[in-house]
Structure 1
Amino acid sequence: MSQGSHRMPRPNSRSCQAAVAAVAVVIAAVTASCTRTVEGVAAGPAAGKGAMVDGGNLESLLLTPDVVSGIVGLPNMVTISSWMKPDTSDSGESYVPRDCLGALYSGMSVVYAGNGYSSIFQTRTGPNKSKPDATPSIDQSASAFDSPAEAQKAMDEYLDTLHNCAGKDFTYTRIQLTWKLGSPTDAGNGITTMESTLQGGDQVIDRALAVKGNVLVEVQSQDRKPLADEVKKIMDKVLDQIGS
């Protein structure tokens, strides 16, 4: 998941060495149902019951680059990469706390391994530039489960991770690059949002998560400025594309 900011490369045929190179780029750039309670805020139920979505149709739920461009306000954004598996955390990079990688980035294998998903589709949209780590970058992820109950269970476990990691420093120890992890917040319509910031840098990661029907949806932005409103709008549109 290499974004202009220190995320390790997505598993889009990139090697572990590419992850290290991506982080080095970052250094140069920076010098870059039921009711739950999350951080004391009562989170609402999932966004409607939702229709059952076939795992082969997940890509159609995600917004096209043109639509993302309109929301973010940056013309001519393109699909940088897409993949049909969770993002690997085995990049050769050392980081602590080990159990909080999924609290920083969306779609990570450390979250999805063993959570019962049957299929997943992820995509990254970014500026039409030659640099793969250019910002802003927008990641969208949709994962299908065998039932709405299983999707909600995975979401509940995910929220537990976000809650347990909220407010912690997440550090890549080899290069001493530290993020302050945000706290999950109920944004309404069954959506949970959070924002993490790079310490001593100018990078912000905004995220949104929600379940509708048998699908768990994630949206993430990484940029030099907060894009919380834009991430929420993208999430709303993706959820709208899941039938009721």
Structure 2
Amino acid sequence: MSQYQLLARRGDVRGRTLVALALSSAALLAVGTACGDSSEASSAQSSTAATTTTSTPPPPPPGPPPVGADALPGLLPSLEELKTIMNNQELVAGPNATGVAEPDPREQVYEPAGCASSFTAGSPSAFNGTGHRGFLGASQAQSPTPSLMLGESVVTFDSPEAAKRALAKYLEQWRRCANTPFTWKFISQGRQAQWTLGEPIDAGGGITSLRNVNPDSPVTVTRAIAAKNNVLVDVQIMGSGLAEQNITIAKRILERIPG
């Protein structure tokens, strides 16, 4: 058909008439057949397009199973790991804890008590009302002179969402207590130590840290918290010359939590 259209454009009216008459009935039949095939193909394509449905994407893979209380010991660094991280071979293992608790008020008192979570790991003020389930805390100290003390805690919740909510509450307390004067009283010894609570800092990798300072001593208390899966990680170090070992320990624990 294109060659006839080309001729028609180049000729006059009579030429176009002759061209039209030159089309035989066979050619017309062929054209009609071709047009019919095109129409059917178009109809088939339309039918196919009409019946095509959008495929539903597959559901996301399930997340890791929650960590149970029986798995908590395997999350904590060994004593040998901590000796390497702290570069201190005089560390010895102290007692473990299986729940949050305030110190015996006949022995020690924190003031203000509502800011104890900035100072010490496993403080009830951070976990009350969070619905925490399992708890395991470990401690280490330099021996024979306890000039370096550590504490690491791992706490489980019913779900990752619950752990994130608990972390948010923890961080809210840290922010509220930042730059607050804090007193650690030793009742039985009649002594006390004054501290200034630090401001929380994003340490990367989901970890938040802070540093509490004593204006009368080079000793500091560093902290680190984070949440992964259904576990909240809580680290505390007390000593002089501390760098970012608290963050290193928190990272080491997070690496062992599935998820």
For 1:234, which of 249, 253, 256 is the aligned residue?
Answer: 249
- Offset at residue 209 of structure 1 (A): 0.3
Root-mean-square deviation (CA, aligned residues, Å) is 1.8
CA contact (8 A) 1:106 1:218 kept: yes
Confirm or deny that 1:214 pairs with 2:230.
Answer: yes
Residue identity over aligned pairs, in percent, reads: 26
Give the 3 Å change call, closer, same or farther, for CA 219–187 of structure 1 in structure 2: same
CA contact (8 A) 2:132 2:157 kept: yes
Give the 3 Å change call, closer, same or farther, for CA 210–225 of structure 1 in structure 2: same
| TM-score, normalised via structure 2 length | 0.69
For 1:139, which of 144, 151, 154 is the aligned residue?
Answer: 151
CA contact (8 A) 1:148 1:212 kept: yes
**Alpha-carbon displacement from aligned partner over 1:187-228 (angstroms, at most 9, x marks no partner):** 11100000001121221001110000000001111002223x
CA contact (8 A) 1:80 1:126 kept: yes
Gaps of 5+ in 1: 1-48
Gaps of 5+ in 2: 1-62
Higher helix share: 2
Q: Where do residues 27-46 of structure 1 align in structure 2 (5 Å cutoff)?
A: none
Q: How many pairs were matched up?
A: 192
Give the 3 Å change call, closer, same or farther, for CA 172–236 of structure 1 in structure 2: closer
Q: Partners in 1 of 2:134 and 2:76 — Cα distance? A: 14
Which amino acid is 2:204 matched to? G
CA contact (8 A) 1:192 1:210 kept: yes
CA contact (8 A) 1:121 1:141 kept: yes
Q: Partners in 2 of 1:112 and 1:90 — Cα distance? A: 18
- In the other structure, the counterpart of 1:98 is 113
- In the other structure, the counterpart of 1:112 is 127
CA contact (8 A) 2:118 2:223 kept: no
- In the other structure, the counterpart of 2:85 is 71
For 1:80, which of 94, 100, 104 is the aligned residue?
Answer: 94
- In the other structure, the counterpart of 1:17 is none
CA contact (8 A) 1:55 1:120 kept: yes
Q: Which has the larger radius of gyration?
A: 2
Moved more, 143-152 or 82-91: 82-91
Q: Quick one: higher RCO (CA 8 Å, sep 6+), 1 or 2?
A: 1
Q: Where do residues 113-192 of structure 1 align in structure 2 (5 Å cutoff)?
A: 113-127=128-142, 129-130=143-144, 134-172=146-184, 175-192=191-208
